[in-house]
Chains A and B, each alone.
Chain A
Amino acid sequence: MNHSSKVLVTGAGAICGAGKEPEEIWQAVREGRTAFAPIARWDTSNFPPLASEIVDVDARTLVEDRKVHKLTQRSDLLGLYAAARAIDASNMVAYRECLDAVAAAAFNDRTGVYVGSGGGTYEISYDFFPLLTTAAGDLRTFGTELTSTVNPMWLLRTLPNNVLCHVGIRYGFKGANACITNHATSGTLAIAEAAAAVRAGEVDRAVAVGHHAGLEPQAGLYFQALGLLGVDAVRPFDVTRNGSLHGEGAAALVLEDEAAACSRDASVLGEFLGSGCVSEGEGLLSVRADGNGLARAMALALDDAGIRAAEVGMVVAHGNGTRASDASEAAAIRRIFGSGAPPVTAFKWVFGHLTAASGSMDAVLALLSLRHGVVPGIGTLRELDPACAPLPVSTAPQSPRSDVALVLSRGFAGMNAALLLRASTDGRG
């Protein structure tokens, strides 16, 4: 497909169990420093799966405005932090400050915010437990004692769109926006929709954020009961893989129209080339064994970008380490690339599955991999599952075949999404 103007990446930010900056996280991936440990926040004596928590920093210190702390949840703070880092890196606020009032207002109206959100936690509802105890099953008492027991701002804290709201309030951006709550494709779709808004000329630039902090006992229990969790490691495509492990984090990109970026002399990290998104339309939790949905998403992304599969330099697989997803993902990659697939890697084995933020994080790290000219190896891979072979994965670093990365995300509801990104190695578009 022909697109008249390029969509450039002019800023990035990220945080997860492996670090607080994109480069720090990428180095952890590159060096194979996995960031898993027993969960520190609760008693895990009955819950063996490890997770990748952000332990070395109090999430509240990530967002200066203390009013915001009372109106948000942990995931929101991570998202606000990643967005702020990306916005800072893009230098757009400093640029706006040099504009006159009319031009600055136009800048704000032409800056969008697109968020992929985990959509909430179970724990936020536990604020009602003391009231439920008081009410002892009597709804009338539940009603009469409500205001003396529960924080008046409770509902606002639960909103899935808090990051969208508070990025807006903090920076004054007023352009097109969305809050996507579509499980593990949320962050990916935030990038795709932000890029679409830039391409369509609705905005000159947009911040695309994905955030998720869902490490809580109730959620862990469900995932364990459903057989989706491993225990001590995520081993994408390995013959012994037995499930995923969760992480928490957020990542953000600033996507900008080429002309707008040039006019403010922005430094350029890369380019959004295209995206594809489809559903398999079958089970909520299941995936098709043949990888049909993911293959279609990849084909759509290639078509959208107007490039051939042979031009792709590396693939960042979803690689969540579950039996069914990895095998069908390998099948989908073979279907698109035949025997000529470029180096394939995945990142969840280092900092866990970030769910709504996973596509955002993988996009940030894909750009860094291309910039460094290194496709990081998968350190936990011991023996490639014959059901996934042939697949050009390795424990050792590989070299990308070109400056283009294909990033894959899959989520509940049979969702499959693919992004194509090109890295800029010279800081120019």
Chain B
Amino acid sequence: MTLTRRRAAITGVGLVTPLGNDTATTWEALCAERSGVAPIAGFDASGFSVRIAAEVKGFDAVAVIGDRKLLKFANRYQSFALAAADEAMRDAGIAPDERTASRWGCVVGSGMLGFSYEALADLHRGFAADGELNVKQLLAAGSAAADPLVFCRSQPNAGLWLLLRRFGIRGYASSVHTACSSGGQALGTALKLIRRATADYVLAGGFDSMIDPIGLAGFCLLGALSPDNDTPERASRPFDLTRNGFVLGEGAGFFVLEEWNAACARGAHIYAELAGDGNSLSSYRITDSHPSGDGPIQAMRQALADARVSPGEIDYLNAHGTSTPMNDRSECAAIHAVFGAEAARVPVSSTKSLMGHLIAGAGAVEAAVCALGIHHGTVPVNANLVERDPECDLNFVCERHGPQRIRAAMSNSFDFGGSNSCLVLRNAGER
């Protein structure tokens, strides 16, 4: 690493979350501690063991995006991506043109349920009514049974394509998926593209929705969700002694990243620097990190070293904090191992307490929360932390404080599969 390495400025932020369909509304709800969790309204979940989620509310893709032709190719979470990316691009006030298009990259962490419940149910009605696919009958139906739009939406890189197409991005492009770390890893990759001069601008983020009968079923089967159907706003309580699972969320978060000097030269507003990326593998179990924090520890240390930031400079840590018994404990152990004595000082919160777990979108949305925290000088609250867990002994932010300068913030995302992503964002006024 050289002293003159290129830096990445965050010059645009866009959000579609359970708390609001844009950045300002989401931030306001977060500061007002309004929960996005409620009984599921999008479909009849009355028969499921879990009937609550943090849904995006009142989202009208056509009103936001306008391009009906393009939206035909988009499913729910891909529409979230288009809307959040639109806002980030507008916010940055810069877009690819003929001269710069090939210097624009795009990296996304995409949701994985591209084949929706509706499409599956259609197929079932037509060709599997007795419970098993009638292959001969399906193939005999030929193209009549092959809706190209269903095919397009189900492609793992369909969301990436929609963004490339909408904004005319012609440079490096990639779609990644490491479950709950997807959004964080996408931003980490984007930072590296700027550093290694593969791109001068990157549209990067994450998006997901698993709040459909199939996605909800998958998590219900695993027993990973909080079953507190009668108290939805209290159900997600990261680090609380009585926590009993996470709450599904949905949405999208996007950044426009720009090479630092170019952003400064055009007088762009810089929310923060995306300063460091840490990326490790737990190699322990599919759904858990080691109780010692092994795995997340390496990611956090790498991110600090990569950002050239010391634990003493981190003034806010947005925890992965899913509200599951084991993972919150493992994360606390990791934070203690990395921060040492500083662990008692660093303000920590999991904003999943209000907006639920956005899965592939979580890392990007929570990095955006860090950027907004730095920008506004406000540390978001960890809602619903009432009963302290002696195994989770950190400086949790339980009530709102006045404005305070955040020199640097850290965002953690750890996934099903063991990939850990840690991002460090630095106040643009530092150094």
Contacts and interface: CB of A to CB of B under 8 A. Distances in A.
A155 B172 contact: no
Given A108-B283, A221-B139, A165 B173 contact: no
Contacts of B131: 129-130, 132-133
B161 A165 contact: no
B192 A196 contact: yes
Interface string B271-292: 0000000011111111100000
Contact of B283 (A47, A140, A150, A172): A172
Contact of B169 (A42, A181, A182, A281): A281
Interface in A111-155: 112-113, 117-120, 122, 125-126, 128-130, 132-133, 137, 139-147, 150-155
Given A169-B283, A182-B174, A412 B112 contact: no
A95 interface: no
Contacts of A414: 161, 164
Contacts of B417: 159, 161-162, 164-165, 179
A217 interface: yes
Interface in A15-53: 42-47
Given A175-B280, A189-B174, A221 B218 contact: no
A109 interface: yes
Interface string B94-134: 00000001100010001010110000110110001111110
B160 interface: yes
A221 B176 contact: no
B145 A152 contact: no
A312 to B, nearest CB: 21
B219 interface: yes
A232 interface: no
Nearest to B283: A168
Contacts of B169: 279, 281
Nearest to B161: A413
B135 interface: yes
B213 interface: yes
B281 A217 contact: no
A71 interface: yes
A272 interface: no
A161 B177 contact: yes
Interface string A377-418: 000000000000000000000000000000000011111000
A255 to B, nearest CB: 16
Contacts of A362: none
Nearest to B217: A146
Given A120-B112, A122-B115, A183-B155, A143 B46 contact: yes
Contact of A129 (B46, B132, B161, B219): B132
Contacts of B219: 155
A218 interface: yes
A160 to B, nearest CB: 5
B120 A181 contact: no
Instruction: Indicate the size class of the contact surface on chain A.
Output: 35 or more
Contacts of A293: 170
Interface stretch (B146-154, B256-264, B319-327): B146-154
Interface in A40-72: 42-47, 71
A156 B170 contact: no
Given A154-B218, A176-B279, A200-B196, A146 B48 contact: yes
A427 interface: no
Contact of A169 (B136, B138, B157, B418): B418
B44 interface: yes
Contacts of B170: 278-281, 293, 296
Given A125-B115, A126-B128, A132-B121, A413 B185 contact: no
A117 B295 CA distance: 22
Contacts of A143: 44-49, 213, 217
Interface in B358-398: none
Given A143-B46, A165-B418, A174-B282, A415 B157 contact: yes
B178 A281 contact: no
Interface string A175-211: 1111111110000010001001000111000000000
A126 B170 CA distance: 37
A181 B175 contact: yes
A225 interface: yes
A128 B120 contact: yes
Contact of A168 (B49, B143, B281): B281
A311 interface: no
A162 B416 CA distance: 9
B298 A174 contact: yes
Given A222-B148, A412-B157, A412-B161, A159 B171 contact: no
A423 interface: no
B3 interface: no
B121 to A, nearest CB: 6
- Of the candidates B45, B213, B222, the one having the most CB atoms from chain A within 10 angstroms of its own CB is B213
Interface in B18-76: 43-49, 73
A165 B222 CA distance: 17
A222 B149 CA distance: 10
B272 to A, nearest CB: 22
20 contacts: A43-B139, A71-B286, A117-B156, A133-B128, A142-B217, A143-B44, A143-B49, A146-B220, A155-B222, A161-B419, A165-B417, A168-B282, A181-B176, A182-B160, A224-B146, A226-B146, A277-B198, A278-B170, A284-B155, A414-B164
Interface of A: 42-47, 71, 108-109, 112-113, 117-120, 122, 125-126, 128-130, 132-133, 137, 139-147, 150-156, 158-162, 164-165, 168-169, 171-183, 189, 193, 196, 200-202, 217-218, 220-222, 224-226, 277-285, 293, 296, 411-415
Given A132-B124, A142-B217, A179-B176, 5 more contacts: A119-B112, A139-B43, A201-B1, A217-B133, A226-B148
